[in-house]
Amino acid sequence: MMFFFKQEFYINLGKVIFSFGLIFFGLFTMEEAVAPLKDSDYFVSWLQTLENPWKGMFTGALVTLVVQSSSATVGMVIGLASKGLISITAGIAVMLGAELGTCADTLVASIGRSKAAIKTGLFHLLFNISTILLGLILLPLFTKLVILISQSSSAQQTIANAHMIFNISGVLIMIPFLSLYEKVLNFLIFDKAHVTESPKLLRRAKADQKE
């Protein structure tokens, strides 16, 4: 479609199909690449230590920080799960860490930007830390919920379901606290351009002007 059509619509459609193909080909390649690791006693024993939620979480965060993509980290976990190298509990813990590691991109992108951009980066960090901590505390219950919803699905499908359920649940749980996040961010990063009629904010703005 990209080579034989001149219309922009068909060219863009071809790019979309090609890109999706690359994603699935990449996942297949990762699955095939980790297959030989089954024979490594050291690697298998190390993966078993990821059953510890905190170790799994920090491992996922570190890997995501290195590869700069939470999707790639989750893809690796799904590849390992497809070969029976990682359990569902450990996979979910690593997935939670990937959500933390992906904050690095947002924070780096906000450097040197406006205060609104910095607030956005910090909100992303605070939001993910809040949901990850909640996920770690409730990890046994969350794992049971995911397995219940997934029923007889494969391990890799169950981890993919966990990723989706975690993100949707996190948004729904945190929506009522958006105003609280806003107040905290406005307190940490005070922006004179967005001073409201609040007496406290006005007094603070005047004090800053005197300084």
Q: What does the block give as tokens for 54?
A: 């905190």
pLDDT for 66 equals: 81
Handedness of CA 179, 180, 181, 186 (dihedral sign): positive
What is the largest distance, in Å, between two alpha-carbon atoms of the chain?
69
pLDDT for 84 equals: 82
Say if residues 120 and 110 touch (Cβ distance below 8 Å).
yes
Q: pLDDT tens track of the chain, all 211 residues? A: 888 888 899 999 999 999 999 988 887 887 777 777 777 777 778 888 888 889 999 998 988 888 777 888 888 888 888 878 888 889 999 999 988 888 887 888 788 888 888 888 888 889 999 999 999 999 999 999 999 998 888 888 899 899 999 999 999 999 999 898 888 888 888 665 554 445 555 566 556 555 5
Q: Where are the domains of the chain?
A: 40-210
Q: Which long-range contacts (CB under 8 A, 24 or more apart) does 7-11 make?
A: none
pLDDT for 206 equals: 56
Say if residues 49 and 89 touch (Cβ distance below 8 Å).
no
pLDDT for 203 equals: 61
pLDDT for 169 equals: 92
Q: Which of 57, 50, 63 is nearest to 137 (CA)?
A: 57
Please list, in sequence order, all residues whose beta carbon lies within 8 angstroms of the beta carbon of residue 151, skipping any fewer than 6 positions away.
none
DSSP for 25-75, written as a single string: HHHHHHHHHHGGGGG-HHHHHHHHGGGSHHHHHHHHHHHHHHHT-HHHHHH
Within 13 Å of residue 40, how many CA atoms lie on the same side as its CB?
A: 12
Instruction: Report which residue type is found at 102.
Output: T
Q: How is residue 2 annotated by DSSP?
A: T
d(CA 194, CA 140): 43
- Look up the pTM and report it: 0.73
